[in-house]
Amino acid sequence: MNHLLPFLLVALLTSPAFCQPTQRSLGNYTVFTIPFKGDSITFAVVAKKRELNKRKPIFLFRQGSLPIPLFTINPKTNRPALTELPRTCYEYEADYYSIMIAKPGIPLVVDDAYLDTLFSSRSAPKTGMYPEAYQSRNYLDYYVDQTNAVLRFVLSQSWADPKRVVVAGGSEGYHVAIKTAYTNPQVTHLIGFSGNLEGRFQSILRTERMKGYTGEYTQEEAQRRVEALQNEWGGLCRDSLNTNAVEGDPNRTMYSFSHGHNPDFLLALTIPICILYGTADVGATSNDVLPLEFARRGKTNLTLRAYPNHDHTFHKLTYDSGGKVIDKFYNGAAVEKDYFEWLSQH
């Protein structure tokens, strides 16, 4: 595969001069590019171009963090596949048009070598891996506005049924999905998983504190690390719009995903809500309090599903007698089936 081709595609599709909506086929998908704030948005629908003739509900999925391209090329078939779309979506092609939106400034299509490099540097990714066009747009409100723009376009098409519009998201996408549902009255169902109710930085704080109870740190060391994070947050707030970073995400990204308003957004909704998380995902256990707050207000539109011993990516963990993880297996497909089953009942 020509490694330069994806980058040329991005340059073309994100040019401000590119102002008319377009659509084209890419394998078993239809790829749209629409204008957006002097730029553009590219998104994919799980349907061939000639198949967009039946009116169906919408399932829009917002992926997690990292500059991951929309498509990877399957080395066995040499055909593109949506990188992070829940696999169960393909089992519901008769019921929904599943949609994913490309991250800004990122190649549309890559081979596996790109992802291997990205994930191998996940613990401390360098800015060379994060293009400026991505860094400057990688914050909550950009993604929410992006999602709402896609929904406006999609719901104006004859093939979209506006009576059922599902927005789902995991990890970073949890936050995007929640605020999209809060700001867009056309959303009829919300699914969020593996997200910290309080925010991203708060999740880091909780995780460091918990290490003082699991024995990874002493209580004193955990306290020192918590205090260091509290001080770091103060500096981040003083420069919260900065989109530069030596490694990892810049201040604007971290600040935007640590806003703390998710409880208010969720409690304001009257549509069916499904929140899912693993109990071994320390930050996500903040969702434990949601039933209390919904019950306090007499609200019954929340379904909460916690998966014991599952981590952030829904791997089920096995521990030894000392509490150390000795094995794990991926159970995400079962979680996906659970929320699609929930959709069939709401």
Task: Report all structural domains of the chain as residue ranges with CATH numbers, in order of start.
Answer: 4-197+251-345 (3.40.50.1820), 202-238 (no CATH)
Q: Are 109 and 138 in contact (CB under 8 A)?
A: no
User: Which residue is associated with the tokens 């914050």?
Assistant: 139
Is the pLDDT reported for residue 14 higher than 60? no
| Of 52, 49, 1, 11, the residue nearest 29 (C-alpha) | 49
Task: Compute the distance between CA of residue 258 and CA of residue 28 in angstroms, rounded to an integer.
Answer: 37
Top-confidence residue, 14 or 270: 270
Reported pTM: 0.91
Phi, psi dihedral angles at 30 (to 5 degrees): -110, 125
Range of 113-122, 177-186, 247-256 with top mean pLDDT: 177-186
Overall average pLDDT of the 155-166 stretch: 97
CA atoms lying within 13 Å on the CB side of residue 330: 4
Cβ neighbours for 128, distance < 8 A, ≥ 6 positions apart:
none
Q: 109-110 and 71-73 as β-strands: parallel, antiparallel, unpaired?
A: parallel
The model's confidence at residue 10, banded by pLDDT at 50, 70 and 90, is very low
Specify the amino acid at residue 242: N
Model confidence pLDDT, tens digit, residues 96-146: 999 999 999 998 998 766 666 665 554 444 545 688 999 999 999 999 999
The model's confidence at residue 239, banded by pLDDT at 50, 70 and 90, is very high
Task: Compute the distance between CA of residue 311 and CA of residue 184 in angstroms, rounded to an integer.
Answer: 30
What is the predicted pLDDT for the residue at 118? 66
Sign of CA dihedral 180, 196, 43, 144: positive
Overall average pLDDT of the 65-71 stretch: 92
The separation between CA 82 and the C-alpha centre of its own chain, rounded to angstroms, equals: 14
- Label residue 235 exposed, middle or buried (CB < 10 Å: 0-12, 13-18, 19+): exposed
Task: Compute the distance between CA of residue 5 and CA of residue 110 in angstroms, rounded to an integer.
Answer: 9
The model's confidence at residue 221, banded by pLDDT at 50, 70 and 90, is very high
Q: Which of 181-190, 274-283, 318-327 has the lowest mean pLDDT?
A: 318-327
Q: Which of 102-111, 259-268, 270-279 has the lowest mean pLDDT?
A: 102-111
Mean pLDDT for all residues in the chain: 90
Which structure tokens are listed for 6? 């994806």
What is the predicted pLDDT for the residue at 215? 87
